[in-house]
Structure 1
Amino acid sequence: MFILDPDTNTVSLTLYRYLCENIVGTKNHVKTIRLLNTIRDNGTSTESEASITSGSFGEGLEMRGSDLDMMASSKFIEVYADEKTTHNSMLTYYKMETDDVKPGFTQLLSETNGKKALFQFCEELNGKHFLSSTLFKQFHSYNIDGAIIHGPCVSDKNGILDQCLCLHCKTWISQASQWISRSNNAWPSYNVKQNQLSNFHVSMWMDHFEPYTLHAIEVVKTLNSKLLRWSNDMMSVNVKKKTCLYKRRVHQIVYCDKSSLKYFYIYYMSLWCARFAQTIPLTNTRSSNKHQYKQYNSCFCILLQNIHHDAVSGWLMLASVFYKAKQYDKALHIIIYIITKCTPEKLYSFMDMSDTHYQMLKLKSIQEKTIVRLWKIKRVDVMKFERNSWLIPNELQI
């Protein structure tokens, strides 16, 4: 039997606490971030494109100076090395040609029977059409503010987001066969590890663990995660396909087996509904026709599903739609209700935790709730109007 030296055990626990509080977060925190990433990816993926949060944050880690790495994989394009595994007339296929190219690179030869619309991304060479990485990235950079081509990725002007446009190959190519059994110790490098632990001193972290400490760490680190906020802000509404996406999200919630996961889906459904509702044209419903009345009811129903991602902002947006419809008494009643919810123990992003907050987080009933259930009850988020939102009061538009 191996007996751990008491001094080594102390240092190990001390280092673990330091990593939890300052760098990685607790085991549950990492698991929560992974779940949020996975469910958000499921919700933002469409029939034509799969969204995947990758990099260190995709693994649930938020390191100092790290950015947000996102992959966008087309579902209508498939790559193959030697022979196709299947043939689908709805897909466009590219064949890998690795002759006369640098190691780690390939040319993608377009099939002549592919969709002609995709030829706009190709360059002709010796009578053959090859996919142009530059043209492909330039076309897909329209939805990123101040987009910059950064190696294989399209990045934003602030260097926060790296979006990699990907094509799927369903088989392992021969050049990458050794990756299956490669070592996982190559990253992070020694310098990266030293940078993260540069301020660690054992003497600083010898205090006794309180029972609620790790739970408080999970709440605070998730609440203050910049990468989580940025990735959540990327959720957009495809106006042309919003009804189809709405039904798909409802299906995800209804058929989710685990109640804890269901709350995560409801959380992202709520965020998405906040944007969906703002795309529905509204006018004064008191003197409107049948179509306008239907639009108003649709917006109202969508906004009722927007109250599940925090305790306040969803209700504020509901008050806004009543104000827009000139139903001021209803708007005022909701605002009065909202004011009663703005109490000292409420949580908001990037806050300094007070004794009141720590006392609240000590409660067993609070510790038993998932992070998104806690946000629904205790978090106060900002209310965001989209550009050209139909819910902005006329006075503010002026």
Structure 2
Amino acid sequence: METDENICRRLYLCLCETIGSEEVVKARRQFYATVDYFTEKKHFSIVTSGSKAEGLQQMKSDIDVMVLFRLVNVSEKRTDDSFLIPNNFVMDTDDCKPGFTQLKGNSCHYDALVNWLSTPYGQELRFESGRIRHWIVSIFGLFRLVTLHGPCASDMDKDVDITVCLRCPVFIQQAQPWIKRDRIWPSPKLVSNICSYGTLLVPIGSKDSPNEHLEWRMSFSVAEKHLIFSFTHTQLLCYALLKTYVKTSH
């Protein structure tokens, strides 16, 4: 009878063949990191995530492409000098569910595109997520057939999801309790790296909110990628196996 050790070894080799060896996973990650690096422009940059960017190649593996709209500056709180920053918006979570925010204009100047994507709200200006979503579909629809899927424009095969995101340079207050948890993993250095990146916002609101078209959802996809990259190869294979199980069980 085969020993448990032999069964484990055979399973490991099978997963490496199906999902990728340590070297193959590393090469895939480097490829997408290179894509992110060389597509960086003054007002836009690319943030890739999803299974393929994680280094996984499985059935129904997808790639999520977030176009970081760097023209817009997001502040968590209003400060004395934030009004002087062009295209600056301040997060307003007062009437939003946890994980969502509205973006309230707080700037002395707005570029024409930013102004067009915004909407008057009382005496203020709000950066409208609903308008952004339709803008995404209209742009990428020029190159291929896409549909609106959550905050993303998805191709018909649902292999690629593309959206626009904004970046707040600080790790927001709502997520601060995660930093202070007692833990062995992730390491303090990894937590620090995650926090230093800040928080992304994607254009989708809470479905039961009367202001859904104005709300943005907080995204921690870059933090998730940092955490997954810290896995050992064996841990990564277990993670991939669980992802496969979840996808095939639905």
- Shorter-chain TM-score bucket reads 0.5 to 0.7
CA shift at 1:16, angstroms?
Answer: 1.1
In structure 1, the residue corresponding to 2:72 is in which secondary structure? strand
1-structure distance, mates of 2:48, 2:123? 38
CA shift at 1:138, angstroms?
Answer: 2.0
Match of 2:243 among 192, 199, 203: 192
Please name the residue that 2:41 is paired with: 46
Checking the alignment, whether the CA contact within 8 Å between 1:153 and 1:164 is kept in structure 2 is: yes
2:10 is the counterpart of 1:14? yes
1-structure distance, mates of 2:56, 2:173? 31
Please name the residue that 1:147 is paired with: 146
Structure 1 vs Structure 2 CA RMSD: 3.2
Q: Which amino acid aligns with 2:136?
A: H
CA shift at 1:14, angstroms?
Answer: 0.8
Checking the alignment, whether the CA contact within 8 Å between 2:86 and 2:107 is kept in structure 1 is: no
2-structure distance, mates of 1:116, 1:32? 40
Match of 2:55 among 60, 64, 72: 60
In structure 2, the residue corresponding to 1:58 is in which secondary structure? coil
Q: String of CA shifts for 1:88-128, please: whole Å, max 9, x gaps.
A: 96742110000111221100011242314112111222221
2:134 is the counterpart of 1:138? yes
Q: String of CA shifts for 1:12-44, please: whole Å, max 9, x gaps.
A: 21111111111x200000000000111122112
Checking the alignment, whether the CA contact within 8 Å between 2:103 and 2:127 is kept in structure 1 is: yes
Please name the residue that 1:129 is paired with: 125
Match of 1:119 among 104, 115, 118: 115
For structure 2, the residue ranges without an aligned partner over 5 or more in a row are 186-226, 229-237
The verdict on how the C-alpha distance between 1:56 and 1:162 changes in structure 2, with shifts beyond 3 A counting, is same
2-structure distance, mates of 1:58, 1:86? 38
CA shift at 1:87, angstroms?
Answer: 5.8
CA shift at 1:174, angstroms?
Answer: 1.0
Matches within 5 A, 1:213-292: none
Q: Which amino acid aligns with 1:192?
A: K
2-structure distance, mates of 1:164, 1:107? 18
Checking the alignment, whether the CA contact within 8 Å between 2:56 and 2:240 is kept in structure 1 is: no
1-structure distance, mates of 2:117, 2:51? 31
2-structure distance, mates of 1:179, 1:189? 24
2:116 is the counterpart of 1:99? no
2-structure distance, mates of 1:12, 1:35? 29
More helix by share: 1
In structure 2, the residue corresponding to 1:76 is in which secondary structure? coil
CA shift at 1:7, angstroms?
Answer: 2.2
Q: Which amino acid aligns with 1:172?
A: F
Higher relative contact order (CA 8 A, sep 6+): 2
2-structure distance, mates of 1:50, 1:86? 26
1-structure distance, mates of 2:240, 2:14? 20
1-structure distance, mates of 2:62, 2:97? 28
CA shift at 1:146, angstroms?
Answer: 2.2
Please name the residue that 1:207 is paired with: none
Matches within 5 A, 1:194-209: 194=245
Identity fraction in percent: 28
Please name the residue that 2:209 is paired with: none
Please name the residue that 1:166 is paired with: 165
In structure 1, the residue corresponding to 2:70 is in which secondary structure? strand
1-structure distance, mates of 2:105, 2:50? 30
Q: String of CA shifts for 1:189-234, please: whole Å, max 9, x gaps.
A: 9863536899xxxxxxxxxxxxxxxxxxxxxxxxxxxxxxxxxxxx
2-structure distance, mates of 1:78, 1:10? 55
Q: Which amino acid aligns with 1:143?
A: F
Matches within 5 A, 1:248-397: none
Checking the alignment, whether the CA contact within 8 Å between 2:146 and 2:153 is kept in structure 1 is: yes
2-structure distance, mates of 1:119, 1:153? 22
The number of residues matched between the two structures is 191
CA shift at 1:80, angstroms?
Answer: 1.3
The verdict on how the C-alpha distance between 1:9 and 1:188 changes in structure 2, with shifts beyond 3 A counting, is closer
The verdict on how the C-alpha distance between 1:140 and 1:19 changes in structure 2, with shifts beyond 3 A counting, is same
For structure 1, the residue ranges without an aligned partner over 5 or more in a row are 1-5, 199-398
Checking the alignment, whether the CA contact within 8 Å between 1:97 and 1:108 is kept in structure 2 is: yes
In structure 1, the residue corresponding to 2:104 is in which secondary structure? strand
Q: TM-score, normalised by structure 1?
A: 0.43
Q: String of CA shifts for 1:335-360, please: whole Å, max 9, x gaps.
A: xxxxxxxxxxxxxxxxxxxxxxxxxx
In structure 1, the residue corresponding to 2:51 is in which secondary structure? helix
In structure 1, the residue corresponding to 2:69 is in which secondary structure? strand
More strand by share: 2
